[in-house]
Structure 1
């Protein structure tokens, strides 16, 4: 099949899946009628949190508040400490009951990182930790977060959400309102705290969502239902470390979703369920994983010099941005010679696409994608024995449209007699019922339903206010969410914006450098932010009265550069709906010229993560604070 024929096939499949409501087709756990039943923290030790992870008191004043205890938050804290700030001046706040971010919440069977652990786990050189496998399992990743926190003596306020953020110009401080909730036996504790610097590192995969369809509450009231990010080991039996789900014997189990999460869960459920129904809207490209243990000989080759982790991360980025170098250090499915088309999601420094070059760019990306797509569809046909099932598991969209998956057991699970694929041909399930799930007009009665349906991903507003689901009010009473959606939108390096002094964030828009390996992206953000704050302190006589923000001129200039590079990412507008493409809301055909410009200025750095990192490191090494205004 030619690239042109493939493109038309892909567009037919895309049209099946587009819905006018876009991301509005989902509800999420912020709805208390569902969240109170399905969203509670199953892992928290409330006594430990109360005793050791509640350092804040009402009316406290601190120097740094970092929101988020995952990799982003940890890296921000560590880089600030390395820049000379005191550990005791930093407090990390998170709604979770411990460190780890998404790896705290997700403890489902089969959980592992699909990116090599040697480049994904943060601060391996600094902590001296050696991952047990090439691809780290979930408990080990969470353990590294806990190790980092202990290594640096980090303080954290857990089980706490922020409810309001207000900049006080006269005090040069943020006034933050927080609520710590330790459960039914404890009344929520409401705090108001001042912080000089506020860093939002809440991440992007932290609010579970599910299809907003009739009958869901009836199902929840009558059957066992849980989200993959709130796995109920008490119900299934087993544990994350030993996932022997003996309680599922004799039960009919359903799972909605066939994305990166479900691909890891399905093989484990298939081992224990009497019957497993896998409900599919859109198949995922699945390649072999080839997991292996880390041997001393291999580790000696990997960690062969100081700075090896940065070098290896950069090497990975060369391949996934279609700019390969002779040595392929990671050497896996991400960096496979025919997989360079996945740069469509990240950007690339190989070219800046102009408006008159968009169609050629899209055509060339589809041509580049043909070998990878055909290889992976053939892989499905070779593994899955039933031809009809294999056909339904083959993906038809560009390789940049959804996160690629790698697993050695997922496709094989469909050869088991107790596993049924319920393919909905792009429609998704119809509805829910007190006894199960309705799909293709048929009721599938279940004992338990697993929602591997992903997370609320903030399609339009990716500001800190959206990340924390709380208002952020800057100078002159301006809401950051309003600025994000206005013609005045702009950032400097995607981490700060004019009108919101001493506010920084780890984001995925506005000219930030994103990556399939988010840890490496967070590290670049954290090094830039630590530099800006530390340099400002060196220049100020009164460090306690500093206010730092980008100038409007600087963020406008940076926005021009972001806009100039954004058309590399125009291939995303051709994508089948999914969280990468904002459920189709990023499509260009129904946008006015003004809306297209706004989308372009909101885009990530279109020249890719390596070019973004190079610019950030050049900025840091040059010294100074070009583009930032410092007031004392």
Structure 2
């Protein structure tokens, strides 16, 4: 932890009190219940605006080697790494109309990645592609997802506009029976779930939302038929419209500048301002990133991961606001930074935190011309309370005459909706269109939420097996009682701010497990003892971050102000160390999860 200018006792006490007061303004008694899912009467918010009605087809009744649930980067990478291992029949099942996952659904104006594209986009070395921008626009990312899928021949057996409805293990044949909402019922020797952490969109539960007569949509289902334009802007359909946008997180930060350019008038409804740091996006060349030599992308990606995981490196290859603020990520992505005297560490951490947040608040004053608006845009909380955002356009948008910031902190958000618009305090804002930039239920996949029921050996449901004591896995991937099921995700593994890197390492691991099982004629399943040992590893050095998040402003990191539960939920030493651990385990101990197949198992396709 770098030393920052020390705060006096009075300054520190005043800052803590300001953070506390601002937090209390925003905590709602209903917590996460304030949001609605896009189902039942609001199911139209989740409809696919890009593929239209799916084409009629006959239900599938065959058998594949591997069924991959989800066609985002996790599923694509799993399929690609399986192809590299020589697996023949890999079927990806995706509810969208094509590959891309988050980048298929999210095509709103201004969308870019917030991680440098040269480390965010996976398999650059293998595909020979060099991103055109330091932070790539969404369409470039989506096309890269398609590029990997095409190169890996994943389209041949894929099922699009199709949602898996159940996964059931058949003990006799030692295969998984996969059913879908299109009437499919087929068998797979292995199942890899890659349902993502940003797949269940959410809407604010505003009273009267069903009575509003204007136009509405969620940013992940952008209605260009109404707005006109493209992700690059030119939203001519909004020229005479009064437009409202709800949400000022990562999506709102990107979409507001484009709406501000084209809407007749834009109202931005904000409960909590984001930290908005410098983006400095620019076009790049192959020489800029060292792409003229083999392995450049892997080296750059590993360098970034080690920096944001708290490890020492000789050179910072990415050199952006993520890496310069890496020391403040300890409360978001646990690592081994917690060394030495805890009080000394926390004091240095808080001083560095205060210096960074003062810098971010000063940037608001320097950029926004109206002092009252600037004050509302300042984030009064600690850096790791929310995922940081980056923009050179967002704050500037509030200098326009056609943009109004509506602060809803004291009313805990929009109070109600009417036929004509929304009500905040004593004011009704009449709107022609209301756009929800309210994001997703982070970490809530279909498997973990129970929307995708998984039934293992002996008819035991995964939800039931985990109900009493929480998830039980080895390395976050496999579980006793659920043979040949490999889950990709962050539970009891390790995460990072660059999640595609994590997903690629997970995909490599999944492919290695399946390849080893095929080579030995085995089934993949850890013992209860192996699970216990892994849970002990996760628990042994688990950081105490509950107090930190309990003091944060409400958001998805702390269950909307309810704190962050402790427990063995992740590997505590960071993603870089976790990936090293997986490599050693595959070399030395993979046999511990392999058991002989039953003699009666039918292996014929």
Partner of 1:391: 375
Corresponding position of 2:304: 316
Residue number in structure 2 paired with 1:44: 51
Aligned pairs for 1:501-580 (under 5 A) are 501-510=483-492, 512-540=493-521, 546-567=522-543, 569-570=545-546, 571-580=548-557
Alignment equivalent of 1:218, drawn from 190, 211, 214? 211
Shift in alpha-carbon separation, 1:487–1:362, aligned structure 2, 3 A? farther
Question: Following TM superposition, by how much is the alpha carbon of 1:456 offset from its aligned partner in structure 2, in angstroms?
Answer: 2.1
Classify the secondary structure of the residue corresponding to 2:468.
Answer: coil
Q: How does 1:193-592 map to 2 (within 5 A)?
A: 193-219=186-212, 222-240=213-231, 242-299=232-289, 301=290, 303-336=291-324, 338-351=325-338, 362-425=346-409, 427-457=412-442, 465-466=447-448, 469-487=451-469, 489-510=471-492, 512-540=493-521, 546-567=522-543, 569-570=545-546, 571-587=548-564
What's the offset of the Cα at 1:439? 1.6
Q: Closer, same or farther in 2 for the Cα pair 1:237/1:428, shift >3 Å?
A: same
- For the structure 1 residues 582 and 485, does the alpha-carbon distance in structure 2 shift closer, same or farther, using more than 3 Å as the test? farther
Cα separation, 2, equivalents of 1:60 and 1:585 = 47
> Following the alignment from structure 1 to structure 2, what is the Cα–Cα distance between the partners of residues 522 and 318?
16
Q: 2:35 aligns to what?
A: 26
The separation in 2 between residues aligned to 1:484 and 1:70, in whole angstroms, is 26
**How far did residue 359 of structure 1 move?**
6.7
Task: Tell me by how many angstroms 1:198 deviates.
Answer: 0.9
Aligned counterpart in structure 1 of residue 173 of structure 2, from 167, 171, 174: 171
SS of the aligned residue for 2:524 comes to strand
CA apart distance, 1:65: 0.6
Structure 2 contact 269–407 (Cα < 8 Å) conserved: yes
Q: Is the 8 A contact 2:65 2:87 kept in 1?
A: no
Q: Per the alignment, in what secondary structure is the counterpart of residue 65 of structure 1?
A: strand
Post-superposition Cα deviations, 1:519-569, rounded to whole Å, max 9, x if no partner, equal 0000111111111111122222xxxxx421111111111111111232154
Distance 2:13 2:531 in 1: 39
Q: What secondary structure does 2:64 align onto? A: strand
In structure 2, the residue matched to 1:143 is 143
> Partner residue of 1:107?
107
Q: How many residues are aligned here?
A: 585
Candidates 603, 606, 609, aligned match of 2:575:
609
After TM superposition, give the deviation of residue 208 of structure 1 in Å.
1.5
Give the CA deviation at 1:464: 5.3
CA 256–359 in structure 1, closer or farther in 2 if over 3 Å, else same = farther
Shift of 1:483: 2.9
Q: Distance in 2 between matches of 1:103 and 1:408?
A: 22
Deviation larger for 442-451 or 10-19: 10-19
1:627 deviation in Å? 4.9
Secondary structure of 1:84's match? coil
Shift in CA distance, 554/352, structure 1 to aligned 2, threshold 3 Å: farther
Tell me, in whole angstroms, the C-alpha distance in 2 between the residues paired with 1:253 and 1:465.
36
State whether residues 270 and 405 of structure 2, in contact with CA within 8 Å, keep that contact through their aligned partners in structure 1. yes
- Structure 1 residue 296: Cα displacement: 4.0
Name the counterpart of 2:184.
191
Q: Deviations over 1:117-136 (max 9, x none)?
A: 00111211111111110100
8 Å Cα contact 2:414/2:424 also seen in 1:
yes
1:43 partner SS: coil
Aligned to 1:16: 25
Give, in angstroms, the shift of residue 509 of structure 1.
Answer: 1.8
Residue of structure 2 equivalent to 1:185: none
Partner of 1:166: helix, strand, or coil? strand
Distance 1:16 1:43 in 2: 39
Question: What displacement does 1:401 show?
Answer: 1.7
Mapped to 2, the partners of 1:508 and 1:280 lie a distance apart of 29
Contact 2:196 2:445 (8 Å CA) reproduced: no
Structure 1, unpaired ranges of 5+? 181-189, 541-545, 589-598
Report the Cα distance in structure 1 between the residues aligned to 2:29 and 2:467, rounded to whole angstroms: 20
Q: Is the 8 A contact 1:352 1:565 kept in 2?
A: no
Listed one character per residue, the Cα deviations across residues 65-120 of structure 1 (whole Å, up to 9, x for unaligned) are: 1011111001101111112212xx10000110011000000010000001000011
1:466-499 deviation digits (Å, cap 9, x = unpaired)? 3672211112222212333322632111111111
58-67 vs 125-134, which moves further = 58-67
**Other structure's SS at 1:341 match:** helix
Q: In 2, distance between residues paired with 1:157 and 1:362?
A: 50
Secondary structure of 2:258's match?
A: helix
Structure 1 CA distance, aligned partners of 2:69 and 2:170?
19
CA contact (8 A) 1:318 1:324 kept: yes
The CA distance in 1 between the partners of 2:393 and 2:252, in whole Å, is 12
Q: Give the corresponding residue for 2:603.
A: none
1:246 is displaced (CA, Å) by 0.8
Provide the rounded CA distance (Å) in 1 between the counterparts of 2:381 and 2:591.
43
Q: Distance in 2 between matches of 1:320 and 1:290?
A: 19
TM-score (norm 1): 0.88
The answer on whether the counterparts of 2:523 and 2:594 sit within 8 Å (CA) in structure 1 is no
Q: Residues 615 and 305 from structure 1, CA distance in 2 versus in 1: closer, same or farther, beyond 3 angstroms?
A: farther
- For residue 326 of structure 1, report the CA deviation from its aligned partner: 3.3
- Residues 560-593 of structure 1 show CA distances to partners (whole Å, capped at 9, x for unaligned) of 11112321544334322212222234445xxxxx
Partner Cα separation in structure 2 for residue 255 and residue 276 of structure 1: 8
Q: 1:73: which partner in 2?
A: 75
Q: CA deviation at 1:442?
A: 1.7
1:351, CA displacement in angstroms? Answer: 3.2
Tell me which residue corresponds to 1:596. none
In 2: Cα distance, 1:536 partner to 1:210 partner: 43
